[in-house]
Amino acid sequence: MKNFEALGLTQPLLDGLAEMGFENPTEIQQQAIPILLKHDGDFIGLAQTGTGKTAAFGIPLLELMDTNSKDTQALILAPTRELAQQICRQIEAMSQKMGRLNVVPVFGGANIMGQIKDIRRGAQVIVATPGRLMDLMKRREIKLDALKFLILDEADEMLNMGFREDIDFILSKTDVGRNIWLFSATMAKEIKKIVDTYMKNPEEVRINREEIVNTNISHQYVQLKARDKTEALRRMLDFDQDMFGVVFCRTKRDTQQVADELNNNGYSTEALHGDMSQAQRDAAMKRFRNKNLKLLIATDVAARGIDVEDITHVIHFALPDDPEFYAHRSGRTARAGKKGESIALITKGDMRKLKYMESKLSIKFDRGEIPALEAITQKRIGRWTENLKAQTVNEKITDELFEEVKASLADVTKDELIGKFLTKEFNSIYKRNSITDLNDHSKDREDSGEYRERKPRSRGKEEGMKTYFINLGRKDEMNKGALLGFVCDVTGITGNDIGRIVLDGAHSFMDVKEEVAPQMEKLNAAERNGRELRANVHEGEVTESRDRGRGGRDSGSRDSGRGRSSGGGYKGNRDSNSSGGYKGNRDSDSGSGGGFKGRRSDGGGSSHRGRRDEDSSSGGGFKGRSSRSNDDSNSSTGGFKSRDSRPKREDSGSSGSSVEKKGSRSKFFGSKWD
């Protein structure tokens, strides 16, 4: 295998790569970099996510750029804000020894005026999502006269998310003096159209399809009941304290429910999905990168661009329909030559899909089992014993206090004392796990389908914890993940020191370890949105009202989207707080109601074929139907007998309804919501 020196790179760039820990190029890098350095023309690179495509185009881009010029020389398009941010970070890191290079990220959901200021200072490289870039181009805030390189990263994903018209607009407006470098996982028909229309005699590198999945990843499946999946995650975390991974769910609702249930049982996790604001998503990713979280619970769309070191596990709470999505997911682990595990939690009905994945990806799934409670207990007691032996005696313990405690325990034998210590630890293990054998596949426990919502077990305050009342709740647009992040940021407490969180309409309760509880006083000196905060020790019983609140949105509640509520019509059947027309039936958990006999199956695309952002929702027309999308993202009912299954979009910087642009309200299709 060639090293980076053999590719003929300059020393400052080699120094930057060495500092990043890059030693040997991946296959796509070995093949693409020499071509891009010598070939003055268009280029196509076909390779999966996780194979090093960012460095494959980033390294030659840095070599070919004029770093002394302030002009915008390179424009990189990415499907999501997370991927755009990741590309920016990696290019900045690779160029750290080359002098100052101004790389500007541009994406929806962030302050556009701040991005305009950054561009005006001189953006040599712009990394953008299509919608926001098109907005800035129409405002004439981006000058591309000196553009040399236009790079499309994850091109197939951009097209899947509905960006075709945006890409056509951008390519047509930059069709002078620039080379196009297109990177994609597949050469789909839509990709071929772009190639034929805008590219001239492109060089092509295609990574062997049999090698699209990292060979350092071990693939396992665990067959269990759908209702046991969350407890399976708890047991895996209890058994392996070094676990640091990403859990992929099919829908936003499942993502938030799984994160809530884990957090309610004392595990340090965070959700990542399209219902979260950009600030919430950035805060979640910051805590994950800092390893303040054990697991990040994410949808496929929201997880685009996650590039975090040392991820040990990728867990598929639900298998994706597309094998390539499985490859995208599992590629989050086993980076930089390290080992990783990809574990699929499947039901009996998923076996056919699993075999299909094996066939398409040329991999072998080994059967695994969820750790038994006895094995978890033995391992945790062993760790507890070693930690107890290694515990140093606090010098602040006075002789008087020591003698006082010693005298009070004089009647307790050594064996009794050990037994009491063991019992306390033993009870804490069994308190958060059921005694069910999750690997029991007998018929009386059979179950199938997706995650079924379970009523959370009532759980009191754990020993060693203090409960605090905080005057923040759902009406403050808070969910449990946002509240956890806010408290950690203000007080300096880590997620590992926080237990039960109970969120109500105007307030919340949080359990905090006694040793760090004094830090909660910092909340009393803080403000949020101009409101003075209050955090007091709560001694009474903690209860949660049934009122979810009608004013705000709570993506952390058991029914995401309940905050968006409106009145119903005659005989309107409703599974969530949304309006229904005459006999308007709805099965979804977000959005707004339908018209006469309007039905919805679950969040799908716009029935009027208008491009929708991921978080949009709108009302329906006569007999409108909408099909389910992969991320449970868009929620709209259709027009007159129309059907559409257009995929969602992640970038929130583009227009909403096709009836009226810029989020204006339409009589039949509602208003764009972001």
> Across the chain, what does the average pLDDT equal?
77
Rg (CA), the chain: 27
**Angle 84-90-93 (CA atoms, 0-180°, nearest 5)?**
140
Q: Does one domain contain both 343 and 235?
A: yes
- Beta carbons of 130 and 651 less than 8 angstroms apart: yes
Which span out of 46-55, 295-304, 589-598 was modeled with the highest average pLDDT?
295-304
Low-confidence winner among 37-41, 153-157, 461-465 (lowest mean pLDDT)? 461-465
Sign of the torsion formed by the C-alpha atoms of 593, 596, 601 and 604: negative
Lowest mean per-residue pLDDT among 235-244, 422-431, 518-527:
422-431
- The lowest-confidence range among 3-7, 61-65, 380-384, 543-547 is 543-547
Instruction: CATH number of the domain at 164, please.
Output: 3.40.50.300
pLDDT digit string (tens) for 120-171? 998 999 999 999 999 999 999 998 888 999 999 989 889 888 899 999 999 9
> Phi and psi for 183 in degrees, rounded to 5?
-120, 135
Residue 342 and residue 413 in one domain: no
Residues 359 and 381 placed together within one structural domain of the fold = no
- List strand residue ranges (DSSP E) for 82-124, in order: 103-106
- Clarify whether residues 99 and 177 are in a common domain: yes
| DSSP SS3 for 77 | strand
Structural domain contains residue 161: yes
Span 164-212, pLDDT tens digits: 999 999 999 887 789 999 998 888 888 999 999 999 999 999 986 555 5
What's the pLDDT at 312? Answer: 95
DSSP string across 323-352: HHHHHHHHTTSSGGG--EEEEEEE-GGGHH
Same domain, 27 and 142: yes
Cα 507 to Cα 533: distance, rounded to the nearest angstrom: 11
Q: What is the pLDDT of residue 601?
A: 43
Q: List the domain range (segments joined by +) for residue 513.
A: 464-563
Whole-number Å distance between alpha carbons of 116 and 384? 54
Comparison of pLDDT for 670 and 95, the residue scoring more: 95
User: How large is the average pLDDT for residues 505-515?
Assistant: 88
Q: Is the same domain home to 362 and 400?
A: no
Tell me what pLDDT residue 86 has. Answer: 85
CATH number of the domain encompassing residue 553: 3.30.70.330
Q: Indicate the SS3 state at residue 194.
A: helix
The whole-number pLDDT of residue 88 equals 93
- So what's the pLDDT on residue 565? 38
Residue 418 vs residue 555, higher pLDDT: 418
Rounded Cα distance between 440 and 370, Å, is: 10
Q: How far apart are CA 188 and CA 44, in angstroms?
A: 13
Does the pLDDT at position 422 exceed 60? Answer: yes
399 to 242, 403, 417: CA distances (angstroms):
38, 6, 21
d(CA 59, CA 62): 5
Pick the last residue of a domain from 372, 394, 409: 372
**β strands within 332-488, DSSP E:** 340-346, 366-367, 465-470
Count how many Cα atoms sit within 13 Å of the Cα of residue 338 in the half-sphere of its side chain.
Answer: 17
Report the C-alpha gap between 347 and 223 in whole angstroms: 5
Partnered with residue 640 across adjacent β-strands are: none
* Cβ neighbours around 44 below 10 Å, total: 21
Output the pTM of the full model.
0.47
Q: What is the pLDDT of residue 294?
A: 92
Taking a C-beta distance cutoff of 8 angstroms, is the pair 590, 561 a contact? yes
Which helix or strand (DSSP H or E) is residue 378 part of? helix 373-390
**610 assigned to some structural domain:** yes
Predicted local confidence at residue 282, as pLDDT:
85
pLDDT of 345-359, one tens digit each?
999 889 988 998 888
Residue 53 resides in a domain: yes
Highest mean pLDDT pick, 81-85, 196-200, 334-338, 490-494: 196-200
Interval 624-644 mean pLDDT: 42
In total, the chain counts a number of residues equal to 674
Residue 543 lies in a domain: yes
Going by their DSSP bridges, the two strands 617-618 and 531-532 should be labelled as unpaired
Give yes or no: residues 168 and 21 share one domain: yes
Q: Is residue 639 part of a domain?
A: yes
Mean pLDDT along residues 69-94: 91
Pairing label, strands 527-528, 531-532: antiparallel
* C-beta separation of 128 from 77 below 8 A: yes
Rounded Cα gap, residues 61 and 179, in angstroms: 11
578 lies in a domain? no
Select from 563, 597, 593 the least CA-distant residue to 670.
593
In the predicted structure, residue 625 carries a pLDDT above the cut 90? no
Written as six digits, the tokens of 325 are: 């999505």
The conformation of residue 528, written as its DSSP 8-state character, comes to E
Strand partners, 469: 509, 536
Q: Last residue of some domain: 431, 446, 479?
A: 431
Residue 321, classed as helix, strand or coil, is coil
- Residue 67: pLDDT band by 50, 70, 90 thresholds? confident
Overall domain count for the chain: 5
pLDDT tens column, 261-311: 998 888 889 999 888 887 888 889 889 989 999 999 998 877 766 778 889
Q: Say whether both 135 and 104 belong to one domain.
A: yes
Say if residue 55 is in the same domain as residue 199: yes
**Which of 270-274, 575-579, 583-587, 643-647 has maximum average pLDDT?**
270-274
Q: Answer yes or no: do 379 and 335 share one domain.
A: no
Q: How confident is the model at residue 590 (pLDDT cuts 50, 70, 90)?
A: very low
Q: What DSSP element (H or E) covers 510?
A: strand 508-513
**How far out from the chain centre does Cα 576 lie?**
25
Per-residue model confidence (pLDDT) at position 223: 94
User: What residues form DSSP beta bridges with 79?
Assistant: none
pLDDT at 441 over 90: no
Running DSSP on this structure, what letter comes out for residue 471? S
In a domain, 291, yes or no: yes
Question: What was the pLDDT predicted at 204?
Answer: 94
Question: Span 469-491, mean pLDDT?
Answer: 87
Spell out the long-range contacts of 189-192 with Cβ–Cβ below 8 A and sequence spacing 24 or more: 190/156, 190/159, 190/164, 191/155, 191/156, 191/159
Q: Which of the four pLDDT bands, split at 50, 70 and 90, describes residue 442? A: low
Q: Are 500 and 470 in contact, with CB atoms under 8 Å apart?
A: no
- Would you place residue 49 in the very low, low, confident or very high pLDDT band (cuts 50, 70, 90)? low
Q: What integer pLDDT is reported at residue 189 of this predicted model?
A: 87
With H, G, I as helix, E, B as strand and everything else as coil, classify residue 482: helix
pLDDT of residue 131: 92
pLDDT at 539 over 50: yes
Q: What is the mean pLDDT of residues 511-519?
A: 90
265 to 66, 461, 639: CA distances (angstroms): 54, 11, 44
Residues 362 and 393 in one domain: no
Closest-CA residue to 184 (of 362, 333, 53): 53
CA distance 115 to 653: 12
Q: What does the pLDDT read at residue 593?
A: 43
Domain boundary residue, one of 328, 347, 372: 372
Q: State the pLDDT confidence band at 434, using cuts at 50, 70 and 90.
A: low
Which tokens go with 183? 């990177």
pLDDT band at 48 (very low <50, low <70, confident <90, very high): confident
CB 333 within 8 A of CB 342: yes
Cβ contact 598:572 at 8 Å:
no
Task: Give the residue with greater pLDDT, 531 vs 353.
Answer: 353
Specify the DSSP class assigned to residue 430: H
Whether 569 is covered by a domain: the verdict is: no
Percent of the chain with pLDDT over 70: 74
Same domain, 58 and 193: yes
Q: What value does the mean pLDDT take over residues 50-57?
A: 84
Q: Is the pLDDT of residue 44 over 90?
A: yes
- Tell me the mean pLDDT in the region 347-376: 88
